[in-house]
Structure 1
Amino acid sequence: METHVDASKVSDVCRKVCNSWSWPSNAVCCSKGTRIMVGWDANLVDVMMLSQSDQVMHTQVVFKLDQKTLFCSFVFADNHYKNRRLLWSNLCIHHSFMKDNPWVVMGDFNSSLFLEDSLASTSSSSIGMRDFKECVNKIEVFDINSSGLHYTWTNKQKQGAVFKKIDRILGNNSFIDHFPTAAASFHPYRISDHSPCILGLPNVTKEKPKPFKFVNLLVNKKGFSDEVKRVSDTQVQGFMMYQVVQKLKALKRPMRKLFKQQGNLHEKVKVARKNLDDCQRALDADPTRLELKNQHATFVSMYMEAVKDEALFMQQKSKVD
């Protein structure tokens, strides 16, 4: 992922996001802050850092499930086309080492590739676009199958709005041969200015269901005392400690039901997220529609409020965990 985190704070940030993952960055290559961080679960993949610069990190990924190997380059291109030429040169050099290996290049290229990648497209390509296209042709990669938003970046202005596709997931022929069902998805950008891009690969393991954890927020909810009293009054035969354990187990189902019906702030976030996603998809299809722009501002506010409420709830939950 691309970032602007200060180098001294990288470790603290990573500990808050999937603490058990490995999180290298290209901080040593950046003159200011950290531009790229790559994280992975060592239980699922082995990742080797091959090389890096301030605009790209080259990795080798081995999936433990089937021992398939994928070479992946994570890109965060510079804003200025002259500086991006260092990136294009780097990718061309790396291409000579890839040969027939499956290779995917993904991230923010800070440049459109085709004229239709910009809402206010012109009849001619810019210098930056021509440099980018020349690089793509040399390293022999292309857009993989994708779904979702077309315009992956916007300046989010009501007046003088700019919509562009500058985030991509590019792969070579060998990548398609090894991962024929791979697909990219570009999600609504919500409160960011970039659309998150996700590369979906086959044989992804499903997340294990989470164990029951009581959240003390429930004690203030209507019906909590009634459920506790009902279970407490239930007759259980056996030693006193056995009775306590069995009654606690019996409370799991009603507590889950109570949490879902009265204390589940996640549902509020889901509704707000869906409203915002739908609006942004409609705005992506018709960026000039004023009504959608006004609705978008409202949905952003509702979404941020719901996320804030959920965050407060999660803080309370973490104390129990």
Structure 2
Amino acid sequence: METHVDSSKVYEVCKKVFHDWSWASNASCCMKGTRIIIGWDANVVDVMILDQSDQVIHTQIMFKVDKKSFFCSFIYADNNYKNRRILWQNLYGHHSFIWDKPWGLMGDFNAATFLEDSLSGSSSTNIASREFKECLEKVEVFDVNCYGLHFTWTNRRDKGDAVYKKIDRILGNVHLIDAFPAAAAYFHPYRISDHTPCFLLLPNVARDRPKPFKFVNLLAEKDGFLDEVKQVWSKEVDGFRMFQVVNKLRMLKTPLRKLFYKLGNLHGKVVSARKALDDCQISKDADPLNNELNVQHGQLLQEYKDDVHDKSSYLQQKSKVEWLSLGDTNSKYFHNIVKAKNHKSRIFAIRDVNGILHKGGMVPKALVDHFSMFFGSVGEVSMQPAPDLFRKVLSDEKAMFMARDITDEEIKGAMFAIAGNKAPGPDGFTSVFFKKILGCSG
């Protein structure tokens, strides 16, 4: 909470808000009034104060229900960008302490990050924004998926000199998104204040069904892939041709999942292969004329290259980063890209045609109900369109060309023209799957 309550009155004010809550503040670090006050329900969470200054309070929060915990930093940055440099240095040090733990940052940073975060002012970023953005990159955090208002502060002037900025943010690292996949930030209307209240929502999402099938392009290169396809394709399925294809594709999902499972931990295999190669090269350096070590080194080097290729290929497909080169071993960066993209694509809240807001687990139901209104309704449909419905029609020659028989070569050409990393169809199979079986069948 951003406040300027006198330190001698903090306890009195807090008890008037929620008398049975626990409270903490950074009053002892502030020269003019208390800048940050934190309150929590001790029946729901345990909060440990780790460190504090006049601009930030670092905490660790643990939920008593499921024992999940994360680190959270509550921030009220100074108005002067020079004084904010002390805060940025503080966050650098705390980042070293956090390392690979879930970490969230929320509050008033008093600095915009991007040009679109300010409705008025200069069209170029200033030194304050550049330093803030540099800090976010160093501590490896990004905006949590959010909804609500974009501009979080206004000077509350309605004439031509009105200013709107986004200086309040809720940030998190990739480990926070791992621990709380459905995390979302909500920026409430500011009403009588000049700041928008911001909320970090951490729904407890339990996965009640398995993930949908997605074909891993890497499998097309592995031994046993075509054998699994031929085995399923040789089975007899009664029905129309399209029905047979759909059912055989459905039957293929289980053996393909097992085939991918046999590949093991792709990341772990790279680490193990790298260590084995390092050990072999150390032994080879001590005994360079040992022929067995030379043969072993060649095998280990090839295994390492294959494992790196497998891991990079899988990450490339999962993150859809087209400019990923297979020789790039900066895997941590691409792991973060994958997690950030997945988090940003999550729809946390949606408003239906009646203006009702659906959040969290109710979003899928709202989407299904919306489209059921159009595709699930029953009504009388005339097969004879009105004469004035189509004012422009194709010539008979073009119409016959569009209705011509499609050749196998055209189907194969269309499939081979689709990029392998494009999003799979509703059945989860990518174009690489069809390219492989079509290419082998001729």
TM-score, normalisation: structure 2? 0.46
Deviations 1:51-89 (Å, cap 9, x if unpaired)?
A: 000000000001000000110000000000000000000
- Residue type of the alignment partner of 1:182: A
**Identical aligned residues as a percent:** 67
Distance in 2 separating the partners of 1:117 and 1:57: 25
Structure 2 match to 1:177: 178
Q: Map 1:272-283 to 2 at 5 A.
A: none
Distance in 2 separating the partners of 1:54 and 1:142: 23
Structure 1 match to 2:44: 44
Distance in 1 separating the partners of 2:11 and 2:121: 41
Distance in 1 separating the partners of 2:121 and 2:68: 40
Q: Are 2:153 and 1:153 equivalent residues in the alignment?
A: yes
Structure 2 match to 1:61: 61
Deviations 1:184-221 (Å, cap 9, x if unpaired)?
A: 000100000000000011139xxxxxxxxxxxxxxxxx
- Residue type of the alignment partner of 2:26: N
Contact 2:144 2:171 (8 Å CA) reproduced: yes
Q: Map 1:155-234 to 2 at 5 A.
A: 155-159=155-159, 160-203=161-204
Deviation at 1:121, TM superposition (A): 5.1
Deviations 1:280-302 (Å, cap 9, x if unpaired)?
A: xxxxxxxxxxxxxxxxxxxxxxx
Instruction: Name the SS of the counterpart of 2:124 in structure 1.
Output: coil
- Residue type of the alignment partner of 1:47: V
Contact 1:183 1:199 (8 Å CA) reproduced: yes
Structure 1 match to 2:86: 86
Contact 2:184 2:201 (8 Å CA) reproduced: yes
Q: Are 2:159 and 1:131 equivalent residues in the alignment?
A: no
Deviation at 1:5, TM superposition (A): 0.6
Deviation at 1:122, TM superposition (A): 3.1
Contact 2:180 2:204 (8 Å CA) reproduced: no
Distance in 2 separating the partners of 1:118 and 1:184: 19
Structure 1 outlier segments of 4+, above 3 Å: none
Q: Map 1:282-301 to 2 at 5 A.
A: none
Name stretches of at least 5 consecutive residues in structure 2 with no aligned partner: 206-354, 356-442
Structure 2 match to 1:35: 35
Instruction: Name the SS of the counterpart of 1:94 in structure 2.
Output: helix
TM-score, normalisation: structure 1? 0.63
Deviation at 1:157, TM superposition (A): 0.6
Contact 1:115 1:121 (8 Å CA) reproduced: no
- Residue type of the alignment partner of 2:58: H
Deviations 1:211-249 (Å, cap 9, x if unpaired)?
A: xxxxxxxxxxxxxxxxxxxxxxxxxxxxxxxxxxxxxxx
Number of equivalences: 205
Distance in 1 separating the partners of 2:8 and 2:114: 38
Name stretches of at least 5 consecutive residues in structure 1 with no aligned partner: 205-277, 279-321
Contact 2:55 2:76 (8 Å CA) reproduced: yes
Distance in 2 separating the partners of 1:32 and 1:127: 27
- Residue type of the alignment partner of 1:195: T
- Residue type of the alignment partner of 1:202: P
- Residue type of the alignment partner of 1:176: I
Q: Map 1:261-272 to 2 at 5 A.
A: none
Which has the bigger relative contact order, CA under 8 A and spacing at least 6? 1
Deviation at 1:158, TM superposition (A): 1.7
Distance in 1 separating the partners of 2:74 and 2:33: 17
Deviations 1:23-42 (Å, cap 9, x if unpaired)?
A: 11000000110000011000
Distance in 1 separating the partners of 2:69 and 2:197: 24
